[in-house]
Structure 1
């Protein structure tokens, strides 16, 4: 809950800053009549809208599990990020339309010096708050906050590019550069929107986080107990900041229910020690069979039917697959 409150507090700051920056950028556009500056201003509209959407999603994702949402409300963050990515993409497309129009019917620019100063101030503010939001979201495993921070930081880079373009126009008086700069950065904005949208769809579709899965399996392999004969059908699903892990663990068939439960407690404690209390774990136990003897490393097993031959190292391929581990000769 403490992380959730921190996420919401940071998002409130982002919303307030987004409103202030929108006013600054639109003032700069009014003074300069620059399509490139309008690019920055329109992106700030998206910042304001997505800021409120992100705030609402963080509020929902912080709510505890209930009867209607047994896995919590965390997936709303993926929806929030998806809406933000869509808005960013649409803003980029609109900017291209305005830039093309500026080529057809160019208008003189004015007050460029003041406009450059105002846009420069917004760039500094944007980067600082974007960095803070992204790092907080990364620390607290909030996709919505990371998306907001990444958006603000990217907005800073586009702003710097626009400033460079305005300075070039200021000294060359080549007016068509205004539209060209706007198109270049509109394409960057569209690319960023697609990336955020892609991450959101991946979360909604429960796409496997290969890096996280490999990290967990390597950690379990490093700390595995001889009684954990094999681990398979392991899956990780993200619901906002919460990770749901489920797997099948093969144990010696002669363990009592109490002893098997103790082994589950051990592996759950191991995972929680690594990833913290954001983990929700469900492990199904399987009993070993005759073919398991070939790869079982228990030295004092009194019911072994075949001698040990080879230990199978746990990898993403064999732990994520649905099937007990076995040597090819024991099929």
Structure 2
């Protein structure tokens, strides 16, 4: 495999993809290869387009020029993203990589819009396209070059979990389609005077614009805050639960500060009667070991719960039976009871499915419904219910 051959020969210790320097070298390699291939394709298509008087070929060539600029921006982005943390950016500069991908997306859109205008003008004022076999062969060569470049960038992007390189891979794959349309346009120009070149040019330009908007969406999501990787979520939860005394976890929040740079916080339920010193040592050990194992910065908050009281367990089971009949409720945590005798307060938190769509009136109705069901069993009990949102699911 050519991609693996290049990586193994130009990147020392290439398997250590969590290392910032190794990630930077992956980005450099992708950028350099992209610059070389796109520079060559731009010159080939510019020459071919001028020779054949084809606006669609010229548009495709300038699409390669935008890819060339994108490769340069990607390299700069990886360089900046690899800068260490400082006083102004205590979590590093990893998000610069997302910004570089965003700039690439905008450039792609601008190129597409410009050639929509040029292609429309070619339809209004048509000019004959001169078929040339050498030009046709060069277009076919460019198609195969872009197929390989797409696979190469995808390999690099998946290896280091880079949105910028995956975006470059998708862009190159789109170029395969546009170059194929150009080849078809060049062939058809032999038999028709219809301005198909202009229409193909518009088709290519629209595809370029669409690709740009798709890339913007993909790069904005991590900047705005998207749900974390489900596999990482599962690893954190299972990892915390394997430690002694921890019986449950909830309220996991993961902040993304760039590829391979995550900070996570989670609440861990522990017995309330255990020594603070003892559980503190357990929590410290969990934070230290899981942070190293998962390449994240993990903070664990302790939630003491009563694990031995039979009365609390019995009431908790009653509440669990009640909420099991409510499909919106995903889970319950932080369950505790205060007060004495019949005048007790039942306190707990609920994770609600799609809480983002819940209005204030919906929350009030849900709380009243649960409170009503509890008071049917215990008339003098009152409830304090907190509705939480899960930050680890869509």
Render the CA deviation track for 1:256-303: whole Å, top value 9, x for unaligned.
245234235336645764xx42x23233x13224xxx4xxxxxxx556
Render the CA deviation track for 1:146-197: whole Å, top value 9, x for unaligned.
2222211211221112212222223x22341111111112111111100111
Compared CA separation, residues 43 and 316, structure 1 to 2 (3 A):
farther
Tell me the CA shift for residue 43 of structure 1: 0.5
Aligned counterparts, 1:1-331, within 5 A: 1-170=21-190, 172-205=191-224, 207-209=225-227, 212=229, 214-220=230-236, 224-225=241-242, 227-253=246-272, 254-263=274-283, 265-266=285-286, 269-270=289-290, 273=293, 276-277=294-295, 279-283=296-300, 285-289=301-305, 293=306, 301-302=307-308, 306-307=312-313, 309=317, 325=349, 329=374, 331=384
Tell me the CA shift for residue 317 of structure 1: 6.3
Compared CA separation, residues 259 and 304, structure 1 to 2 (3 A):
farther
| DSSP-derived class of the 2:269 partner | strand
| DSSP-derived class of the 1:240 partner | coil
Compared CA separation, residues 280 and 326, structure 1 to 2 (3 A):
same
The 10-residue stretch of structure 1 (226-235 or 56-65) with the greater mean CA deviation from structure 2: 226-235
Contact between 1:230 and 1:324, CA under 8 Å: does it hold in 2?
A: no
Partner of 1:297: none
Render the CA deviation track for 1:209-233: whole Å, top value 9, x for unaligned.
35x1x33344455563462433115
Tell me the CA shift for residue 40 of structure 1: 0.6
Compared CA separation, residues 120 and 316, structure 1 to 2 (3 A):
farther
Compared CA separation, residues 306 and 4, structure 1 to 2 (3 A):
same
In 2, Cα distance between equivalents of 1:94 and 1:167: 25
| DSSP-derived class of the 1:81 partner | helix
| DSSP-derived class of the 2:299 partner | strand
The 10-residue stretch of structure 1 (5-14 or 221-230) with the greater mean CA deviation from structure 2: 221-230
RMSD (CA atoms): 3.1
Larger Cα Rg: Structure 1 or Structure 2?
Answer: 2
Tell me the CA shift for residue 125 of structure 1: 1.2
Compared CA separation, residues 78 and 31, structure 1 to 2 (3 A):
same
Tell me the CA shift for residue 318 of structure 1: 5.6
Tell me the CA shift for residue 326 of structure 1: 5.7
Contact between 2:108 and 2:209, CA under 8 Å: does it hold in 1?
A: yes
In 2, Cα distance between equivalents of 1:87 and 1:23: 19
Unaligned runs of 5+ in 2: 1-20, 333-346, 352-369, 375-382, 385-394
Contact between 2:91 and 2:257, CA under 8 Å: does it hold in 1?
A: no
Name the structure with the higher helix share: 1
In 2, Cα distance between equivalents of 1:218 and 1:121: 45
Q: TM-score, normalised by structure 1?
A: 0.82
Q: TM-score, normalised by structure 2?
A: 0.70
Name the structure with the higher strand share: 2
In 2, Cα distance between equivalents of 1:252 and 1:125: 62
Unaligned runs of 5+ in 1: 294-300
- Ranked by relative contact order (alpha carbons within 8 Å, sequence separation 6 or more), the top structure is 1
